[in-house]
Chain A
Amino acid sequence: MNGNTVLDIQGLSGGYSLNRPVLHDVSFHVNPGEMVGLIGLNGAGKSTTMKHILGLMNPQKGEIRVQGKKRDEDAETYHGSLAFVPESPLLYDEMTVREHLEFTARAYNVPRGDYEERADRLSRIFRMQDKMDSLSTQLSKGMRQKVMIMCAFVARPSLYIIDEPFLGLDPLGIRSLLDFMVELKEGGSSILLSSHILSTIENYCDRFVVLHQGSVIAQGSLEAIEAQAGTAGAGLEEMFYTLVQGRD
C-alpha cells in the first residue's frame, strides 16, 4: 500500500446487523492501473464489501478511502471517483440506452464532446449501435448488462467496482469487456472485479483477494496465492478450492 492507492480498505467490519457482522476485519487495497479479483463462495461477503465501498452500507468498524478520501469527508468527490457495474442490471424503464449513457455522463460531469465520442465507441465495441434508441425494457438481459457496463465506462472514473459482469453476456461481449478492461487498466484506471469464472479472470487480474465467511483468507498475486494455498503449478480454481476446502 502507498500514498497513491486508489482504494484502501482497512479493518472493515460490517453487515446488516450489529450483532452479526458479515465482514470481519477486511483489509486490502487497489493501486492505480491495477485489476484486482475479489473471489469467494456465495455468501462470502463480496457484494457486502462492494456495498460498503459504494456507501450503501456504513462500516461498523474500519474505514474505506477512495483516492484518499472517506465518503463522509466529501461524498461527491468520493462517488465521482468510482463507477459500479452491478450483478443484475438496474436500468430505468423510461430511458433509452443512449439516454442512460447521457444521464451518467451528466451526473459524472463528463464534457459533452467526450461523452459523444465515448458513447459512439462503446456502442461499437459492445455491438449496440442499433439498440441505442431502444428503451431498456426492449432489451435482452445480456444487452441490459452491456448498458450497465457502458454506463460505467462512459464515466471514466479512477476506480471501477464490477460485480459478476459476465453473467448473461455472450462470448463476444465477454471478450469485448475483457479487452476494454485491459485498455482502461493500461490507461491508469483501477478495477475491483468480482467473478466466479476464475479461469477467465486468472489471466487478467494482477492480484486477488480471497474472501471466505467474511474474512480475507489470502491475497496477492497469483504466485502469492499459490504459495499460501500450497498448490504448486495449479490454476486459480484449484488454489481457491484448496484454500476454501479446509475451512468449512
Chain B
Amino acid sequence: MDLMKLRAQRRSSFWGKEVLPYLGYVLQSGVAALTLFALIAFSAWYTSLVQHIPAGFPIRWIMLVLFVPLTVNSSFRTYLAPADTVFLIPQESRMKNYFQGSWTSGVVYKLLGLVLIFLILWPLYVRSDVNPKPFWLFLIVLVALKLLASYGCWKELRMVSRRAAFAYRLLRYVVLALSMAAWLWQPSGRSLIFIVLLAATYLAALRLPVKHPVAWEKLIAQEKIQSGRVLMVLGWFVNIPGRGQRVYARRWLSWAGNNIPWKPEAAYRYLLMKSFVRSDILGIVVRVGILAAFLAWWQRGGIVGIAIYWFFVFLAGVQLSSLLRFHSESFWLHVYPVAPGSRRRNAIKLAFQIQLLFAAVTWLPLLGAGPERPGSILMALLGGIVLCLLSRYFAGRKKTEDDDDDE
C-alpha cells in the first residue's frame, strides 16, 4: 500500500470535493466583498498609523501578543478516518510515510502565513522600536521558534497520557512566550543564548513521556476538529450539510438556557443555547468581542473607533449566522412534536439576541470618549443596533429563499 499516495488522495478529495465546490459561493457572497472592503480600510488605517506612530507606542507588547500565538499554535491535517483503526493498523510501522505530508504541509503553510504577517508588521516595528532587531535575524528566530513549536505539538499528539500532553502543551506556551519576550526585550546575543538553552531543555524534556507509535484515536479526533473548522469557516458563507464541530464541556456555563420558557415552541432554542455555549462559536465571539472592545477603547475619540465597533458587530453577526445551521439535519426535530419552522425561527431569534448583547457590551468602551461627544457615541450604538436588525432581516429573508428544511 502506497501510504503517501493514500494521504494525497484523501487530501485532494477533502479540498476538491468538500471545499472547492463551495468557494464559488464564498466569492459571490456579500460577506466576502465586505471583508475585502474591511481589509482595504485596515490597510489605509495601518498606513496612517505607520506614518504617525504615537509616542510610547507599545510595539514590543504588540509583537509579543501577536507572535506568541502565531508561533505556538500548530496543527496537522492527517485526513485519518475512524475506519483507519481497523484497516490501517496493520500498516502502523510504515505510517511515517503517511504522516510525512502532514508534517510538511502543517509547517510550511503556517510558516508562509507567519512570514507574511511579519512582513506586514515590520515597517511598524522598525519605526517604533528604539532598538529594533535585524530583519533577517528576526525572521530566522521566528521560523526556528515555529519549527520548535510544531515539533513539540507533534510529539504531544503521540503522548499516551492525556495529562502529560496537556502539561507539555502548557510548557510549549511558556517556552515560546519566554523565548519571544527575551528576543524582543533583550540584546540579540544574550537572548539567542537563552533561546538555544531553553529550546535544548524543552527538546530533551519532550523525550521523556511515553508515546504511542501512532496515536490513532487522538489523531482521528484531531482530524475531525480540523476538518470541522475548515467547514465552519465555509459555513459562514454557505449552507454545508452534515458538518461536525468540536464540543467543549464548559461545565461553568451549564446554567445557560435553563431559563428559556418551558414550552414546545422554545424547545429548539434550549437545544441551540446548549450547543452554542459548548461550541467553537462562543469562543470565537468572545475573542472577537475582547478585541473589539480593546480596539474601540483605543480609538474611542474618533470615527475610526466607531467604524471598528461597527465592523466587529457585523463580524459577530457573520459568526453567529452559524447558529442557523446548527442541527439543521437533526433526526429528533423530525420525530419530536415541535412546530414546523420552529428550528429556523428560534435560531434567528437567538442569533439576534446574542448579537444585540455583543453590540451593547462592545459599545461600552466608546463611552470612554467622555461627555463631550454624546451624539456620535449614541449614533455608534444606533448603528450597532441597525446592524443587528439587518443581520436578522437577511437571515429571515434567506429563510424564505431557501427550501426551508423544517417547513
A107 within 8 A of B: yes
Q: Is A80 within 8 A of B337, CB to CB?
A: yes
Q: Is A73 an interface residue (CB 8 A)?
A: no
Residues of B within 8 A of A84 (CB): 335
Tell me whether A92 and B271 are in contact (CB under 8 A).
yes
Segment at the A interface, from B120-128, B157-165, B246-254: B246-254
Could you tell me if B274 and A94 are in contact, using CB atoms closer than 8 angstroms? yes
Closest to A157 in B: B337
Give the complex CA separation of A133 and B340 in angstroms: 30
* A197→B327 CA distance, assembly (Å): 34
User: Could you mark each residue 271-307 of chain B with 1 if its beta carbon is under 8 Å from any beta carbon of chain A, else 0?
Assistant: 1001100110000000000000000000000000000
Interface of B is mostly: loop
Question: Is residue B336 within 8 Å, beta carbon to beta carbon, of the partner chain?
Answer: yes
Cα–Cα distance between A128 and B177 once the two chains are bound (Å): 44
A95 touches B274 (CB 8 A): yes
Q: Are B267 and A94 in contact (CB under 8 A)?
A: no
The reply to whether the CB of A199 lies closer than 8 angstroms to some CB of chain B is no
Give the contact-size bracket for chain B. Answer: 20 to 34
- Given A84-B335, A103-B267, A106-B267, A94 and B275 touching (CB < 8 A)? yes
Per the bound structure, the CA–CA distance linking A55 and B335 in Å amounts to: 8
* B247 and A137 form a contact (CB under 8 A): yes
From the candidates A55, A93, A109, A135, name the one contacting B334 in the complex (CB within 8 A). A55
Chain B residues near A117 (CB-CB < 8 A)? none
- For residue B330, which residues in chain A have a CB less than 8 angstroms away from its CB? 92
A103 to B273, CA, bound (A): 11
Contact A106 B274 (CB under 8 A): no
Residue ID in chain A nearest B269 by CB atoms:
A106
CA distance A104 to B279 in the complex (A): 21
Say how far A81's CB is from chain B's closest CB, in angstroms: 8
Question: How far does the alpha carbon of A77 sit from the alpha carbon of B327 in the complex, in Å?
Answer: 23
Which of B45-53, B258-266, B368-376 is found at the contact surface with chain A?
Answer: B258-266
Please determine whether B270 and A106 come into contact, CB atoms closer than 8 angstroms. Answer: yes
Known contacts being A96-B254, A102-B270, is A107 close to B275, with CB within 8 Å? Answer: no
Give complex CA distance A93, B340 in Å.
Answer: 24
A103 with B271: CB separation less than 8 A: yes
Q: Mark B328-341, 1 if CB is under 8 A from A, else 0.
A: 00111011111110
Name the residue among B249, B251, B340 with the largest chain A CB count within 10 angstroms.
Answer: B249
Selected from A78, A90, A133, the residue in CB contact (under 8 A) with B251 is A133
Q: Is the CB of A56 within 8 A of B264?
A: no
| Residue from the list B247, B267, B271, B338 in contact with A135, Cβ < 8 A | B247
Chain A interface bracket (under 10, 10 to 19, 20 to 34, 35 or more): 20 to 34
A54 at interface (Cβ–Cβ under 8 A)? yes
Q: Are A108 and B247 closer than 8 Å at their CB atoms?
A: no
Complex contacts, B337 vs chain A, CB 8 Å? 75-80, 107-109
A100-133 CB contacts (< 8 Å) to partner B: 102-104, 106-109, 112, 133
Known contacts A55-B334, A84-B335, A94-B247; decide if A109 and B264 are in contact (CB<8 Å). Answer: yes
Q: Mark B220-260, 1 if CB is under 8 A from A, else 0.
A: 00000000000000000000000010010101001000000
A63 interfacial by beta-carbon distance below 8 Å: no
Query: Is the CB–CB distance between A135 and B249 below 8 Å?
Result: yes
What residue in chain A is nearest B334 (Cβ atoms)?
Answer: A56
Interface residues of B in 303-354 (CB under 8 A from A): 327, 330-332, 334-340
Given A76-B337, A94-B274, verify A106-B266 contact (CB < 8 Å). Answer: yes
Chain B hits for A135, CB < 8 A: 247, 249, 278
CB neighbours (8 Å) of B264 from chain A are 76, 106-109
Closest to A155 in B: B336
Q: Which of A138-153 contact B (CB under 8 A)?
A: none
Q: Which residues of B contact A112 (CB under 8 A)?
A: 262
Query: Are A95 and B271 in contact, with the CB atoms below 8 A?
Result: yes
Q: How many angstroms between the C-alpha atoms of A107 and B267 in the bound complex?
A: 5
Q: Are A107 and B338 in contact (CB under 8 A)?
A: yes
**Which residues on the B side are within 8 Å of A77 (C-beta)?**
337
Q: How far is the CB of B251 from chain A (nearest CB, A)?
A: 7
Expressed in whole angstroms, the minimum distance between the Cβ of A12 and any Cβ of chain B is 18
Query: A193 to B266, alpha carbons, bound, how many Å?
Result: 31
Closest to A55 in B: B334
A-B contact sample (5 more), CB < 8 A, given A92-B330, A93-B247, A107-B336: A80-B337, A90-B331, A103-B274, A106-B263, A135-B278
A–B complex contacts, Cβ < 8 Å, 21 sampled: A54-B335, A55-B335, A56-B334, A56-B335, A76-B337, A90-B332, A92-B271, A94-B275, A94-B279, A95-B275, A96-B254, A103-B270, A103-B274, A104-B336, A106-B262, A106-B263, A107-B336, A107-B338, A108-B337, A112-B262, A133-B251
**5 shortest interchain CB distances as A-B pairs:** A80-B337, A79-B337, A106-B267, A107-B336, A107-B267
